[in-house]
Amino acid sequence: MRLVVNGQQAFGKSVLEKILAAGKDEVIAVYGPEDKPGARPDPLVAFAREKGIRLEQPKSFKEEPEWAKLKAMNPDLAVMAYVTKFVPSQFLNTPKHGTIQYHPSLLPLHRGPSSINWPIIMGETKTGLSIFWPDDGLDTGPILLQKETPISPDDTLGSVYFDRLYPMGVDAMLEAIELVRAGKAPKVVQDESKQTYESWCRAEQGAIDWSKPIAQTYNLIRGCDPQPGAWTTLNGARVALFDARRADGTGAPGTVIAIDDKGITIAGNGGAVRAGRLRADKGEKLAGKAFADANGLKLGAKLG
């Protein structure tokens, strides 16, 4: 088939690499983000240039000339691999077989831009990915295929994504392309009665309230690790916590109850957590005792 790959970052590049390595389809164009002055090229954009593939970097997909340009390429299928711009149905429906898109949740659950963070923050025990047929809604189109993965008690955003949803997603994209090629790609309408939506998980959502149950605190920390980083305060300055584990110990919520090379243990409501690494403001991440020494943190200090 004649494919168009629309995406960005490492995930978009990995999908393109996998398609090219399979050698079954012709990638006639890559759509990627615009170049930013002084910034490194996006990985997908740089790879497309390296391979000599036609590169399009529109400011918007909402303009009719962009639709006409795509139509003139005569594509069979468009593959969306991490696209943050709105792509209207006039563009999506131009290829002969339409457009398929990757989303890292089990749709209709966790629609929205931070769909890996929120299941962990909410304490869920499984998540997954969906390859679906996008429409003008937000993650609302019919499902082509889905894959599940467990969320272990100590998983983080990083481990769920990089260890599982990323490689699983690349493979699922290729599986979906095969189903389209064979004329066997399902279009299962999403059950709107089960839909959930969460917006961005940004720094403000990562603020730790030590008075909340320790399970909620721990889930927030691991659901924000590595981005945006759950944080508390020390002497009015933000401190982000990473590589956390549940720990033994009690004390007033927010109190530092242990400091060693393995981390800094902080009491919460009903238990404690040990942060293996911490970052003050926008500095570097430091292991427990090293952070304490560098920031004057002592036993009994109150965070938050």
* Three state DSSP letters for 199-233: CCCCHHHHECCCCCEHHHHHHHHHHCCCCCCEEEE
CB 228 within 8 A of CB 199: no
224 pLDDT more than 90? yes
16's tokens: 């393109």
* Mean pLDDT of all residues in 95-107: 98
pLDDT at position 282: 78
Rounded CA separation 49/57 (Å):
12
- CA distances to 22, 38, 53, 236 from 50, rounded to whole Å, are 18, 19, 8, 48
The CATH 3.40.50.170 domain(s) of the chain lie at: 2-194
Q: In a 3-state reduction of DSSP, which class is residue 48?
A: helix
Averaged over 13-17, what is the pLDDT? 98
Average per-residue pLDDT for the chain: 97
Q: Which residue has the tokens 């889930």?
A: 219
Q: What is the CATH number of domain 2-194?
A: 3.40.50.170
Give the residue-averaged pLDDT of 217-229.
98
Place of tokens 């399902």: 186
Q: Per-residue confidence at 135, pLDDT binned at 50, 70, 90?
A: very high
Q: Give the C-alpha separation, 158 to 227, whole Å.
A: 8
| Pairing label, strands 263-268, 271-280 | antiparallel
**pLDDT tens digits, 267-284:** 999 999 999 999 998 799
The CATH superfamily assigned to 203-295 is Formyl transferase, C-terminal domain (3.10.25.10)
Q: Which residues of the chain are in CATH 3.10.25.10 domains?
A: 203-295
Percent of the chain with pLDDT over 70: 100
Task: For 147-174, write each residue's pLDDT tens digit.
Answer: 999 999 999 999 999 999 999 999 999 9
What's the mean pLDDT in 243-260? 97
pLDDT beyond 90 at 297: yes
Q: Tell the residue number behind the tokens 């590169």, with chain if given.
A: 55
Q: What is the mean pLDDT of residues 191-218?
A: 98
**In b/e form, how buried is each residue of 62-90, taking b as 16+ CB within 10 angstroms?**
eeeebbeebeeeebbbbbbbbbeeebbeb
